[in-house]
């Protein structure tokens, strides 16, 4: 059973359940004792989970007033981890903050606060119970040639879009090296990225892990775990 590393975060249960449901074994990391260089040899995949904002200094900007820091040391730890994971060609699946972290690790930048910096944008920070039906959130338009479209093809409507949940106030601005857009919200916010140079590298801005009970977006976790199966 492939072992999937998850750096510690405050909402672990849904991530762990989603990995188990798809046939993987989650391993929650301890930043104090799990050295990234050792870890990438001991696990089969890396999941970058949601959480606080990546420090803007890491992409050369001053902090917006809405900046809400992640746990001390988490940014640096995850950046080292994800870089080593790519060196080792481990499958990487990034969710919400995880996409933002992945993008910054590759030299990209972030929209620090969608609501105030892009007036007129959709509401992306919907504070609803986590597994509410996704009709409550917004649509995403999916690039037909993307891995996201391949995995979630059954969900696509005639117009190449489907609805997602949404609990983020940041998103990728300029993309990091090697990353391409796989899905976009109707207001232009980047909702999914991929790197086709690696066996599995997908990042989504929404929260597929919240749906482990009902199975929506399960194909993303299944594709990830399949790629991590040696």
User: Catalytic: 222?
Assistant: no
Name the minimum Å distance from CB 205 to Mn ion.
Answer: 5
* 90 touches 81 (CB < 8 A): no
Number of residues that bind Mn ion (CB under 5 A): 2
In terms of CB distance, is 3 or 118 closer to Mn ion?
Answer: 118
Q: What is the SS3 assignment for 47?
A: strand
CB of 165 to Mn ion, least distance (A): 8
Per residue, what are the HEC states of 162-215? EEECCECCCEECCCCCCCEEEEECCCCCEEEEECCCCCCEEEECCCHHHHCCCC
Nearer to Mn ion, 186 or 199 (CB): 186
**Catalytic annotation on 71?**
no
Please say which residue, 77 or 134, places its beta carbon nearer to Mn ion. 134
Beta-carbon count within 10 A of 86 CB: 20
Site for Mn ion, residues 153 to 192, rule: CB under 5 A: 166
Establish whether 201 is a catalytic residue: no
Q: Which of 187, 175, 195 is nearest to 91 (CA)?
A: 195
Closest separation between CB of residue 135 and Mn ion, Å? 14
User: How far is residue 120 from each of residues 58, 85, 123, measured CA to CA in Å?
Assistant: 28, 38, 9
Out of 9, 16, 96, 138, pick the active-site residue: 96
Catalytic residue among 124, 207, 216, 219: 207
Question: Which of residues 74, 97, 124, 207 is near Mn ion by CB under 5 A?
Answer: 124
Please, what is the minimum distance in Å from the beta carbon of residue 203 to Mn ion? 13
Comparison of 106 and 124: residue with beta carbon closer to Mn ion: 124
Instruction: Please give the residue ranges that form the binding site for Mn ion (CB under 5 A).
Output: 124, 166
Write out the catalytic residue numbers.
96, 207, 209
């Amino acid at each position: 059973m492939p072992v999937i590393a998850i750096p510690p975060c405050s909402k672990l249960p849904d991530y762990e359940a989603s990995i188990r449901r798809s046939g993987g074994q989650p391993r929650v990391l301890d930043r104090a004792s799990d050295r990234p260089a050792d870890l990438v040899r001991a696990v089969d995949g890396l999941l970058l989970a949601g959480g606080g904002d990546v420090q803007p200094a890491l992409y050369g900007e001053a902090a917006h007033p809405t900046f809400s820091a992640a746990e001390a040391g988490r940014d640096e730890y995850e950046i080292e981890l994800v870089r080593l994971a790519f060196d080792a060609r481990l499958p990487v699946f990034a969710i919400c903050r995880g996409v933002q972290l992945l993008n910054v690790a590759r030299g990209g930048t972030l929209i620090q606060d969608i609501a105030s910096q892009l007036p007129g944008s959709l509401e992306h920070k919907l504070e609803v119970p986590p597994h509410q039906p996704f009709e409550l959130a917004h649509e995403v338009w999916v690039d037909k040639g993307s891995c996201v479209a391949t995995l979630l093809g059954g969900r696509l409507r005639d117009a190449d879009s489907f609805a997602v949940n949404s609990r983020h106030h940041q998103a990728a601005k300029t993309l990091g090296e090697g990353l391409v857009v796989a899905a976009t919200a109707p207001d232009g916010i980047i909702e999914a990225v991929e790197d086709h140079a690696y066996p599995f590298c997908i990042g989504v801005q929404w929260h597929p892990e919240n749906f482990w009970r009902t199975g929506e977006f399960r194909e993303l976790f299944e594709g990830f775990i399949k790629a991590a199966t040696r």
